[in-house]
Amino acid sequence: MSEKINVAEIFGENVFSDAVMEQRLPKKVYKELKKTIEEGKELDPMIAEVVANAMKDWAIEKGATHYTHWFQPLTGVTAEKHDSFISAPKADGTTLMEFSGKELIKGEPDASSFPSGGLRATFEARGYTAWDCTSPAFVREDEAGAILCIPTAFCSYTGEALDKKTPLLRSMEAVNTQALRLLRLFGNTTSKKVMPSVGPEQEYFLVDKQKYLKRKDLIFTGRTLFGAMPPKGQELDDHYFGTIRPRIGAFMKDLNVELWKLGVTAKTQHNEVAPAQHEIAPIYDQCNVAVDHNQIVMETLKRVASRHGMACLLHEKPFAGVNGSGKHNNWSITTDDGINLLDPGKTPHQNIQFLLVLTCIMKAVDTHADLLRESAADVGNDHRLGANEAPPAIISMFLGEQLEDVIEQLVSTGAATSSISGEVLKTGVSTLPDFVKDATDRNRTSPFAFTGNKFEFRMVGSSDSIAGPNIILNTIVAEAFSEACDILEKAEDFDVAVHDLIKEYATKYRRIIFNGNGYSEEWVAEAERRGLPNIRSMVEAIPSITTDKAVKMFEKFGVYTRAELESRSEVMYEAYSKAINIEAKAMIDIAGKQIIPSVVKYTTALAKSINLVKDACGDADISTQKELLLESSDLLAETKLALSKLQELVDGAANAGEGQKLAHYYLEVIKPAMDALRAPVDKLEMIVDKDMWPMPSYGDLIFEV
């Protein structure tokens, strides 16, 4: 029988939470720290000293020997440097365990060793990590022991953001300021803060670790670069929400316990569409904390999987031919006193504040569709978006029947007088309870869908930090709120002005609304007719962050400077080129050292068997064996030719330029050559004896977990 778990007892036990701070800090210190967290007040160094000492004592009681400033550089993963609490030895040979306020507030990693896109030259090494007191510190327990992790921002010596947290915090301040302006227009004087709330759904694959270790492509790149589809994939839809197998269930149990101890509200778990694919989703949290928690989730997934003899794959498309993994970023905005600005109420046509918020978001998404697309751009996501398993690469907004009807009323008649309401669900079974169904269905093909009281941005890649999409969402909505407030604050008659503005926005930006099938070819043509951008790759998406329109907006709200945007552009181009280069070199290595020798071994054995049969039975029919030998030999020759071509093109990258030019070279030249090498190899896998094939097949990986 499995061990019983009391979630209420263990939840947050390894978090230096508000409850812990209230218990351990002097009342005055606790109140001052809360003001800093809630009101953005500058932190007094003396307060930091007291907090640091209390945090150290608490962490040591948890078994911690070291602390680290835990930050999120532009690598896409987190970074940390561990320091022990040990201070200089005393005269008697003993030592003290110390942790000062200065050590809590500031750290100094080498800034030139992280991606900076030119913001830091190699010789300009100094960078700072600064304590983010709005995200609680936590003790992580793993093979390295217990480590006190302090969430921090990471900036250069000259103040530029070198991380994902700093601009995220800036964007949260921007949307807070502008949302409060909007609320004051509607007479709300009680709400003091508006916060973006986020709930990310995380998809992932689990494969057996021993099989994983036999696949160099998975080890080097996180995805299979070769692989033929097994007879069964996901056609029967039997894996989705299916019974969770014991091995996976044991993993999920341990995963939940670790996450709950760290204060991550892991709530939902289930099998996903593809075999070996699963999902975990938390309850919503403040945007900054949600971003940190999602990083913790991804790190914990990998660590716990390894402990259970499995490997967790977070790549967006680890297996060709079956659904890849994404991350649905559920986003809303709520006040400190519990008002959700995206709650339409039972009669949204009468909810003027909601309609203004909604049409402002329509404006934001339409105006900055290119930025939203860029925020979901990464190398792995290029395999998913537009592939009829994830949203199309075209940004559109799903509102559903109820809200679309309200918008249509506003556009056609100038006023909305009714709202479609939900009807009683009729199942035809007398024993089933009656209940009112929602007034709107959901749309899984929409990249940006309204789902009751939030928007679900469905394009984000499974391995990505959700900081980028939320920085964009917060900032573009802040801009739309700001521009609306600029107009309404000057209005002589607010009621007339807000009605006219809602109608204007609904009319002008309705083109972004699409409730139909985003997978259809008809939508691609219709989107082009509407003038909506269709940005198909990461490389094509990157320029959107450095347009004059984007720079003007980001600088206006203090989220990014032009230099910071240009640096991120360079980092992304470089990341793309490096990722494809690694994939291409891995293909060359695997094809040359594993696949070709295996095929040669197979064809040699086949040729010998033909000769043996011929010698023993001269008139025997060996046409089938000859056909196999001929087909294998032809595919082997095609493989060898494609391998030589890919090697030549990879060598040619040295002369392809840098930055954007090099990224385009990898997109337009190297990737097609990689596809050309894969094609004959995947055919050979279907011919060559399984015992001779040098790596586990798709069937081995996704069905034998």
Instruction: Answer whether residue 472 is part of any domain.
Output: yes
The pLDDT value recorded for residue 93 is 55
Residue type at 361 in one-letter notation: I
End-to-end CA distance of the chain: 22
Whether 560 contacts 167, CB under 8 Å: yes
Residues 6+ apart with CB under 8 A from 295: 72, 77, 78, 465
Do both 321 and 448 map to the same domain? yes
Helix, strand or coil for residue 242?
Answer: coil
Q: Which two tokens stand for residue 333?
A: 């905005």
- Name the CA radius of gyration of the chain, rounded: 28
The pLDDT value recorded for residue 694 is 96
Do both 264 and 335 map to the same domain? yes
Q: Determine the Cα–Cα distance for residues 674 and 588; give it in Å rounded to an integer.
A: 9
If DSSP states are collapsed to H, E and C, what string results for 431-489?
Answer: CCCCCECCCCCCCCCCCEEECCCCEEECCCECCCCCHHHHHHHHHHHHHHHHHHHHHHC
Q: Which two tokens stand for residue 152?
A: 């921090």
CA 702, distance to chain mean position in Å, is 22
Over residues 462-480, mean pLDDT: 97
Over residues 96-120, mean pLDDT: 82
Q: Is the pLDDT of residue 166 over 70?
A: yes
Q: Determine the Cα–Cα distance for residues 121 and 379; give it in Å rounded to an integer.
A: 26
Q: What pLDDT digit, counting tens, does each position of 546-597 carry? A: 999 999 999 999 999 999 999 999 999 999 999 999 999 999 999 999 999 9
Instruction: Answer whether residue 432 is part of any domain.
Output: no
Do both 482 and 541 map to the same domain? yes
Q: Determine the Cα–Cα distance for residues 158 and 616; give it in Å rounded to an integer.
A: 82
The pLDDT value recorded for residue 456 is 96
Whole-angstrom CA distances from 657 to 517, 537, 546, 576, 692 are: 41, 20, 20, 14, 41
Residue type at 545 in one-letter notation: I
Q: Is the pLDDT of residue 416 over 90?
A: no
Do both 240 and 383 map to the same domain? yes
Do both 540 and 516 map to the same domain? yes
Whether 240 contacts 203, CB under 8 Å: no
Portion of the chain with pLDDT greater than 70, in percent: 97
Instruction: Answer whether residue 484 is part of any domain.
Output: yes
Do both 525 and 652 map to the same domain? no
Q: Determine the Cα–Cα distance for residues 625 and 631; give it in Å rounded to an integer.
A: 10
The pLDDT value recorded for residue 39 is 81
Q: Determine the Cα–Cα distance for residues 276 and 270; give it in Å rounded to an integer.
A: 11
Helix, strand or coil for residue 663?
Answer: helix
Q: Which two tokens stand for residue 94?
A: 């003993």
- Give, in degrees to the nearest 5, the angle at Cα 459 between 457 and 460: 90
* Domain count within the chain: 3
Residue type at 298 in one-letter notation: M
Do both 208 and 111 map to the same domain? no
Torsion of Cα atoms, 577 then 583 then 589 then 591, to 10°? -130
Do both 259 and 358 map to the same domain? yes
**For the chain, what is the largest distance between any 2 Cα atoms, rounded to a whole number of angstroms?**
103
Residue type at 133 in one-letter notation: C
Sign of the four-CA dihedral 13, 7, 199, 468: positive
Share in percent of the chain as helix, strand, coil (round to 5): 50, 15, 35
In terms of DSSP bridges, do strands 127-131 and 145-156 run parallel, antiparallel, or are they unpaired?
antiparallel
Q: Is the pLDDT of residue 95 over 60?
A: no
Whole-angstrom CA distances from 261 to 141, 527, 541, 680 are: 10, 46, 39, 49
Fill in the DSSP letter of residue 126: B
| Nearest C-alpha neighbor of 314 from the set 237, 379, 403, 247 | 379
Q: Determine the Cα–Cα distance for residues 311 and 92; give it in Å rounded to an integer.
A: 49
Residues 6+ apart with CB under 8 A from 24: 54, 57, 58
Helix, strand or coil for residue 110?
Answer: strand
Select the highest-mean-pLDDT range: 45-49, 308-312, 439-443, 620-624. Answer: 308-312
Whether 331 contacts 171, CB under 8 Å: no
Do both 554 and 628 map to the same domain? no
242 C-beta neighbours (distance < 10 Å), count: 12
Instruction: Answer whether residue 567 is part of any domain.
Output: no
Helix (H) / strand (E) element for 82: namely strand 82-84
Instruction: Answer whether residue 21 is part of any domain.
Output: yes
333 forms bridges with which residues in the sheet?
A: 196
Q: Determine the Cα–Cα distance for residues 356 and 371; give it in Å rounded to an integer.
A: 22
Do both 317 and 292 map to the same domain? yes
Domain that holds residue 657: 576-703
In terms of DSSP bridges, do strands 277-282 and 194-208 run parallel, antiparallel, or are they unpaired?
antiparallel
Do both 542 and 654 map to the same domain? no
Burial of 651 (0-12, 13-18, 19+ CB in 10 A): exposed
The pLDDT value recorded for residue 522 is 94
In the Cβ-directed half-sphere of 248, how many Cα atoms lie within 13 Å? 24
Instruction: Answer whether residue 330 is part of any domain.
Output: yes
The pLDDT value recorded for residue 620 is 63
Do both 553 and 468 map to the same domain? yes
Q: What pLDDT digit, counting tens, does each position of 316-364 carry? A: 999 999 999 999 999 999 999 999 999 999 899 899 999 999 999 999 9
Q: Which two tokens stand for residue 548?
A: 């004059």
Residues 6+ apart with CB under 8 A from 112: 120, 121, 122, 123, 124, 125, 127
Q: What pLDDT digit, counting tens, does each position of 639-680 carry? A: 999 999 999 999 999 999 999 999 999 999 999 999 999 999
Question: Please, which pLDDT band fits residue 619 given cuts at 50, 70 and 90?
Answer: low
Question: Please, which pLDDT band fits residue 609 given cuts at 50, 70 and 90?
Answer: confident
* Residue at which a domain ends, from 532, 560, 588: 560
* Residue at which a domain ends, from 525, 560, 595: 560
The residue to which tokens 């040699």 are assigned = 604
68 forms bridges with which residues in the sheet?
A: 82, 149
Instruction: Answer whether residue 184 is part of any domain.
Output: yes
Over residues 480-505, mean pLDDT: 97
When the pLDDT of each residue in the chain is averaged and rounded to a whole number, the result is 92
Instruction: Answer whether residue 331 is part of any domain.
Output: yes
Residue type at 164 in one-letter notation: K
CATH of the domain at 19: 3.10.20.70
Q: Which two tokens stand for residue 51?
A: 């907090």
CA 69, distance to chain mean position in Å, is 22
Burial of 260-295, coded b for 16+ CB within 10 Å and e otherwise, reads bbbbbbbeebebbbbbbbbbbbbebbbbbbbbbbbb
CATH of the domain at 296: 3.30.590.10
* Residue at which a domain ends, from 140, 162, 184: 162
The pLDDT value recorded for residue 123 is 67
